[in-house]
A and B are shown apart, each in its own frame.
Chain A
């Protein structure tokens, strides 16, 4: 079974600075998908960014980018120019293709952006 590990239960960053959230996963698959979801205090789950394992180029969405290290099974999220609205729980998730969209989440990292 695939497992997703987020080793940082809580993190904080000053507004406008950069922060990196860690995620590692365990799989024997060669092709899969990785996601970062954001859950603000409103509880809504919001997709931040996704990465296809067969793509070597790291995904980027505005201030959010990932560092995907396939050999190390690492998928970290970098948030640049942190904003107060980035305060949220962040979940890393893993999905095998052709597997009924079965998505597995890590335990989450609570990020606080301080003014």
Chain B
């Protein structure tokens, strides 16, 4: 059984389009995350949601908006796509971000290519 799944795995689109990446976890976790891995493999957190509440919101363009319909899902919406948005986006989840920490489990990633 897949623990953290993302759809689609590959996404190719034109500049200016709006797209969404979906993430689902079946681990019963309370907290979910989105990371961006750029072309140089640098991995950086974008957002963190706990029980449908945003708890980490790094400095990302407001064209990016996370949406959590329930605690098992955290979707990433991107408006007006730009060339620089091309990257691999990873979803992750963990038990509630309670002290001191909980291990994060990652999805397989979605490779977004903006043409």
Chain A residues in contact with chain B, CB under 8 A?
Answer: 31, 33, 39, 42-47, 50, 89, 91, 95, 97-105, 107-108, 110
Contacts and interface: CB of A to CB of B under 8 A. Distances in A.
B109 A98 contact: no
A101 B94 contact: yes
Interface residues of B, number: 27
A100 B57 CA distance: 11
Contacts of A46: 106
What are the 8 closest A-B residue pairs judged by CB atoms, nearest first? Answer: A97-B100, A45-B106, A101-B97, A105-B43, A43-B109, A100-B97, A98-B99, A108-B41
Interface of B: 31, 33, 40-45, 48, 50, 55-56, 88, 90, 92, 94, 97, 99-104, 106, 108-109, 111
Contacts of B55: 100
B95 to A, nearest CB: 9
B interface, by DSSP: helix, strand, loop or mixed?
Answer: strand
Contacts of B101: 33, 95, 97, 99, 101
A33 B41 CA distance: 22
Contacts of A105: 42-44
Contacts of A31: 100
Given A43-B109, A45-B90, A107 B44 contact: no
